Amino acid sequence: MSRNQKSLVRICVAAAISVTGIIIKYTIAPKEWISWIIFASAYIIAGYDVLWKALTNIFHGEIFDENFLMTIATIGAFVIGEYADAAAVMILYQTGELFQRYAVGKSRKSIADLMKIRPEEATVIRDGVENIVHPSEIGPGETIIVKAGERVPLDGKIVRGECNIDSSAITGESLPRHIKEQDEVISGCINLDGVIYVSVTGTYDNSTVAKILDLVENATAQKAPAENFITKFSRYYTPIVVALAVIVGVLPPIISGNMSWEYWSIWVRRAMMFLFVSCPCALVISVPLGFFGGIAAASKRGILVKGSNYLEMLAKAKTVAFDKTGTLTKGNFAVTKVYPEERRREILSLAAIAEQYSNHPIALSICKESVPVQEAAVSEIAGKGLVAKTSEDTILCGNKQLMTENGVDCPDATGGTVVYVAKNNEFEGYIVIADELKSDSRQAIAELHGLGCKTVMLTGDNATTANQVAEQLNIDTFYADLLPQDKVEKLQQLKRDSGEKVAFVGDGINDAPVLATSDVGIAMGAMGSDAAIETADVVLMQDNPTAIATAKQIAKKTLTIVNENIIVSILIKIAVLILSVVGLLDMIPFGMLVAILADVGVCVLAILNSMRAMYVRKRIGKIKLSD
C-alpha cells in the first residue's frame, strides 16, 4: 500500500470516528470524558505523525514550522473543550497534505517519464564479437549495434543501416524521423525498426542523454525570486504569528481584569483560530509546486529549464533577441550568385583556397561548388574573413570591412551574405550566398508578438540581408554587421534602454557570450551541443522556432498561477484573521472549522491551481499570419 493510500485510510477512519462522536454527542449526550476519548482517538489516528514531527523538530532546533503551529493550536482546542474542532482540524490538515503529495507526485511523474530515457546497457562490437555492457564502459570510436525497439545509448554517427527513430522524449516531436548511413544520432532516441551500426563519438558522461538527465535532476536547485521570498517570509513569519497568538490569548483578559475561566477560554479560542489561519502552508507548498509543474510541462515538450528562476525570468522578458543563422534560418548556405558571372569558376576556385580548412557553413557551401586548386597558409580575421597565402599570391576572402582595411575597392552587393574575393589586393569579384528561412520562423515571431514581446535580430550579416530577413519575418528591429563582441554590447544596450528583462535565442554553438549576457539565454536545436547546454538557461532540444513561444507561454502561465496563489492566499488569510481576532467567528457554528478551512481549504485550492501549470496548450496555429 502506497503512502497516499495509507494516509487516505487514516483520514477516512479518523473522519468516521469523528462523525460517530458528533452523532453521539448531540443524541445521547454522554459524559464529557467519553467525548474526549472518541475525539482524542480520531485526533491521534489522523495526526500522530504531525505531533511526532513537532516534537522531534523542537529537539533539532526547528521549532517554528507548520507542525508546531498545528500541534499547539489543536492541543489548545482540547484544553478549552473544543474536542470535535481539534479532531476535525487535524483531519482537514491531513487532507490538505494528501492533496499536496498527490500534486507533487503527479509533477514528479512527468519528470520520471523523461528519466526513462536513461540507457542501462549497450551492445558493442569488440574483436568481431557482440558484448553487452553499460554505456559508460564504451569509448569514442567504438561501434555499437542498436536493434529495433532499443534505445540509442550513446551519441554517434551511423556507419551502416537505416531506421526510423522516435525522438519524442528528447525533442518533444511526436513524428518519427528517418535516419540513414552518415547521419548523426543522439542518445535517448528509440529505434523503431531496422538495425543500425553506430560509431560512438563521445563518452556516456558527455552524451546528450546524460546532459539532459543532469539538467532535469538539478532543475529545482535554482530557486525563483518568488520562491526565495516565500522561504524568507515563512522563516520570520511563523515566530511572529506565534507571538501574536500569545498576545491575543493572554493580553485582553489581563487588560480587562476579567480573569474568569469563561473569559479566558474565549480569547484562547480566538488565539487558536489565529494560529490555524496563519499557517503559511498554502504559500510554502503552492509556490514551488507551481514552478515545478511549469518545469515538468516544459520538459514534456522538449524544453529543458535549468531552474525556476529562469522560468520566472523568461515569463518577465519583454524583449526576445535572436541570432539569425541557424536560429531563424536553416543555416543551409548555397551559392546563388557569382560576380562577374563569366569568371565564376575562377572566383570560386580562389575563394575555395581560403575556405578549404574551415567548417563554417559559408565555407562548406563555397567548397561544394569548387575544389581548391592548391594549398595555402590560412589565417582568420575574427568577424571579417580569411587571409590565404600561397607560394605566389595572397588571397583575401571575407566581408567588405576586410577589403577596406586592405585598401581593396569593391562594389556594394545585396541578396544575401556577400563574400568578397581579392588577389594581391586587387578586387576579383564577389559571391552571394543565401540562407533559407525555417518554415515556421514567421509563425514563431507572430506568436511572440501575440504574447506581448518585442522581437530583435542581432546578426553579423550586412544590413541589406538583415533587412530582407527582418521584413520577411516581421521582426520589430534588427542590428547588422555585428561582430561577436558587438552582439554582447548591443544586448547590454537593449537591457539598459528598455529597463526590462531581455531573452536571447541562439544556436548555442557560437553564441555563448551573448547567451551568458542575457537575462535568460535560450539555446535552440541544441542536441549534442556542449556550448548550448553549458551556457544557456533554457535548452530547446528541437530545432523549431515556435518552441520559443511555447516556452514563453508556459513561463507566463506558471508565473501567473504562482502570483494568483500568493495574492489569494494572503487576502483570505488577512480577512479571516481579522474576523477571528474581533470575535466574529465566535458567532458562527463550528467557527474553529471555518478558521482551519481558511488555511487547509486555501492550501488545497492553491495546490489544485498549481497543477494547472502542468497543462499548457500550444499556441501553434492559433495566431493567423497576415499576408
Q: Looking at the annotation, which residues are catalytic?
A: 323
Q: Are strands 394-398 and 417-423 parallel, antiparallel or unpaired?
A: antiparallel
Query: Amino acid identity, residue 228?
Result: N
Instruction: Return the closest-CA partner of residue 610 out of 74, 230, 218, 58.
Output: 230
| Residue 298 contacts residue 554 (beta carbons within 8 Å) | yes
At 175, phi and psi to the nearest 5? -85, 140
Name, in order, each residue with C-beta under 8 angstroms of 315's C-beta and a sequence gap of 6 or more: 552, 555, 556, 558, 559, 560
**Cα separation, 586 vs 573, whole angstroms:** 17
- Cα(3)–Cα(95) distance, integer angstroms: 13
Question: Residues 89, 596: contact at Cβ < 8 Å?
Answer: yes
Distance CA 312, CA 66 (A): 27
Cβ atoms of 543 and 172 closer than 8 Å: no
Q: Which amino acid is at 612?
A: R
CB hemisphere CA count around 257 (13 angstroms): 0
- Name the region of 107 (left: φ>0; alpha: ψ -120 to 50; beta: rest): alpha
Residues 444 and 621: their CA atoms lie apart, in Å, by 10
Assigned C-alpha cell, 408: 581593396
- Dist CA 172 CA 540 (whole Å): 9
Strand arrangement of the beta sheet that strand 502-506 belongs to: 303-305, 538-540, 520-524, 502-506, 319-323, 454-458, 477-479
Determine the 3-state secondary structure of 359 from DSSP: coil
Per residue in 561-582, is it b (16+ CB within 10 Å) or e — as a string? bbebbbebbeebbeebbebbbe
